[in-house]
Structure 1
């Protein structure tokens, strides 16, 4: 059964009276067992609630279900190291038939049974996750909902007090409203956009702290946990830098979900993700089209980015194996983008090849200083491009497919 609900923008003090909260209360009254799924048509995001006799057992979904779970595990179960290799081993202990509820919940059940975590710790993790999911829903416009009855769902761990979770959401909204930061998503990651100006506008000590924290790999919520501070305080402390354009909030992908690595009985073809992904950041459409034709024909996956200001967001999300980066672009340049990429742990060793029409030694030296791996002159030469890729990705050599 699917229904459409258009929610008006929520005020800071009204989430407790929202249709989301009222709908959850209705399912409680009818002692519903099964799944309630909310979907945001614009983004395609979906959030799933699991009910047992009208009480919430768990909630998941949205942009960062794995990141959210790992973050709350670090807060309430510090003895459990979030090692995805170990998580895969634990998931392999679960029977496929147990996945009526998400793997995150099943792992918590397993760890309580194995006495790796306490029952109270699991309850705190689930309560906090539910509050975060409800908060995300309160920000999403035009939600639709769908319910699926499942009387086989039974209590395995805890049944959550949804009123407490709703109150926590309301308190967070009120705190954000009071701090005048309701327009900033807590699930976005801050990254330094203007390092030189930021360094000049603050003390050296503060700059070093910001330089370490704002690597584009952690959301505002993640940073708050790392600093052991309230997320509202963290966001408010960064607000002056954000308003000045020195720090930018970007969208980042979720952490990879751990999966059980079972041995297949049949040999499989080479996985698509093992083929190197090459990115080209250049404001010239003709350069990007030439590179796409060349690299696609050579058997590589390819993405082109024509807007320099969007480059960091896309690159952080897609994580290409090698990047061709134009030196001169409107509103930004290759030096700045390269500098920011090298601050992100996942790009420490990614080959970054600077593209430029200028063969000057000054540009080459400066490119090396900001962490560039190589330097390629325009107009691009097919042989030099492929040789450069082979040089930096020898383990991923791809045989050409009909390029001439």
Structure 2
């Protein structure tokens, strides 16, 4: 493998065309001064894959779920030894194809759209800085390169599409909107006063600060430009602001439980329920609770929460305050009306940590109040406070994590 590093003000498109002409095989590492980095994989002048930048996990799942709605987030889990040099995200797609979870045509569509998105992000980022650093890792042998089992992308075809998309954003004066940012409602009272009841209801339902602009467009089944244009006036008025979101953690394959003589060992551990439409919160709690010996049931659909909680009878409930359709206060009241849940501790999760919110939570029957972002010490402290005895644990045994996917 030969490494060549150069600092260039050549456009990305020029760099891509040059690699096609040279029938380049290897990796192009693109580095920005702010430590933002992308990696493009080539085989004989064709693009095979692109990764890096912001939100590798969110990006992959968004494109997969759009093309193949039957794929659940947990199906993206692969073993560490499956993570090859082409990157975790490409390997996930390859394994899904091998398992016949996605078709070859679906794989081609996902790769083309995802690579085009990465190129768009690089073009957009380049407008803010003068230079990008290009680091070429050239492979002398094709056997070293990614095989392109999913598809080989013609450079001119994808650059034509991506460049046309980027120029359309520039023409609409929207090129400065970074699509990995998440819209957040700033002032609900002013927003309610300045919008129609229907518009206000839709905004509160859809904009919860947990979805990026791209994810919001995906949920609304609209073009990204249409969504950004509709939000632009509200952003200018300060009623909507854009914030950074962390990427989702990579899903991990389930750990096989060690068989024990006592079949009741798992059952005797406390069961915790998490009612939150945010997949990220569910995975954070899973990571915390699993190693501490608790079972967890994750409920992302608030409309199914009441039935599922009554059916599973958890020992403690973490309940998100801001959810679409049904908010945490309403759901807490409904849960307390069930006789079997009168004494079950319910802890409200929210980023609105004010005295009024705490009082409202108590009036609706909540046992406690926990501000986001969640931290391991806060979660375990709350569980120990409200549950009389901690779960029993045995060396070598593994806690069960129960997951309830959202309805479709």
2:309 corresponding residue in structure 1: none
Structure-2 residue corresponding to 1:267: none
Which residue of the other structure, out of 19, 23, 37, is the alignment partner of 1:46?
37
Q: 2:186 aligns with which of 169, 193, 208?
A: 193
* Structure-1 residue corresponding to 2:349: 350
> Is 2:22 the counterpart of 1:20?
no
How many angstroms apart in 2 are the aligned matches of 1:353 and 1:233? 30
1:120 offset after TM fit, Å?
1.4
1:48–1:61 contact (8 Å) kept in structure 2: yes
1:210 equivalenced with 2:235 (yes/no) = no
Alignment deviations for residues 294-351 of structure 1 (CA, whole Å, 9 cap, x no partner): xxxxxxxxxxxxxxxxxxxxxx9xx899xxxxxxxxxxxxxxxxxxx94269x97437
Judging changes above 3 Å, is the alpha-carbon distance between structure 1 residues 2 and 207 closer, same or farther for their aligned structure 2 residues?
Answer: farther
1:102 aligns with 2:102: no
Equivalent residue, structure 1, for 2:162: 169
Shift of 1:372: 9.6
Following TM superposition, by how much is the alpha carbon of 1:60 offset from its aligned partner in structure 2, in angstroms? 0.7
CA RMSD, Structure 1 to Structure 2 (Å) = 3.9
Contact 1:351/1:392, CA 8 A, preserved across alignment: no
Residues paired across the two proteins, number? 297
Instruction: Tell me what 2:73 maps to.
Output: 83
Confirm whether residue 249 of structure 1 aligns to residue 242 of structure 2. yes
- Contact 1:351/1:373 (<8 A) preserved: no
Task: Say if 1:217 and 1:139 are closer, same or farther in 2 by CA, change over 3 A.
Answer: same
Q: State how far apart, in whole Å, the 2-side matches of 1:363 and 1:189 are.
A: 23
- Aligned-partner SS, 2:349: coil
After TM superposition, the score normalised by the length of structure 1 is 0.63
Matched, 1:183 2:176: yes
Q: Name whichever of 140-149 and 228-237 sits farther off.
A: 140-149
- Give the 3 Å change call, closer, same or farther, for CA 52–203 of structure 1 in structure 2: same
Secondary structure of 1:3 counterpart: strand
Match of 2:96?
111
Deviation per CA, 1:94-114: give whole Å up to 9, x if none.
854x71212222222233233
Q: Is the 8 A contact 2:8 2:134 kept in 1?
A: no
CA separation in 2, counterparts of 1:387 and 1:235? 37
Relative to structure 1, the CA distance from residue 36 to residue 395 in structure 2 (aligned partners, 3 Å threshold; closer, same or farther) is farther
Alignment TM-score, normalising by the size of structure 2? 0.62
Kept after mapping to 2: 8 A contact 1:220/1:231? yes
2:51 equivalent to 1:60? yes
Rounded to whole Å, the distance in 2 between the matches of 1:371 and 1:41 is 51
Gaps in structure 1 of 5+ consecutive residues? 8-17, 265-315, 322-340, 357-361, 376-385, 398-404
| CA 59–394 in structure 1, closer or farther in 2 if over 3 Å, else same | farther
Unpaired runs of at least 5, structure 2: 258-280, 289-319, 329-347, 370-376, 390-408
| Alignment partners' CA distance in 2, 1:226 and 1:354 | 28
- Please state if 1:146 is matched with 2:135: yes
Distance 1:161 1:205, change over 3 A: same
| Displacement after TM superposition at 1:247 (Å) | 0.7
Residue pair 1:2, 1:144 contacting (<8 A) in 2 also:
no
The Cα of 1:155 is off from its aligned counterpart by: 3.1
Q: For residues 350 and 387 of structure 1, do their structure 2 counterparts lie closer, same or farther at Cα, with a shift above 3 Å needed?
A: closer
Task: Decide which moves more: 226-235 or 27-36.
Answer: 27-36
Q: Deviations over 1:234-268 (max 9, x none)?
A: 0000111111111111111111123456689xxxx
1:247–1:369 Cα change, 3 Å: farther
Contact persistence 2:30–2:135 (CA under 8 A):
yes
Which position in structure 2 is the counterpart of 1:126? 111
**Relative to 1, partners in 2 of residues 1:127 and 1:391: Cα closer, same or farther, differing over 3 Å?**
closer
Q: For 2:23, what is the secondary structure of its paired residue?
A: coil
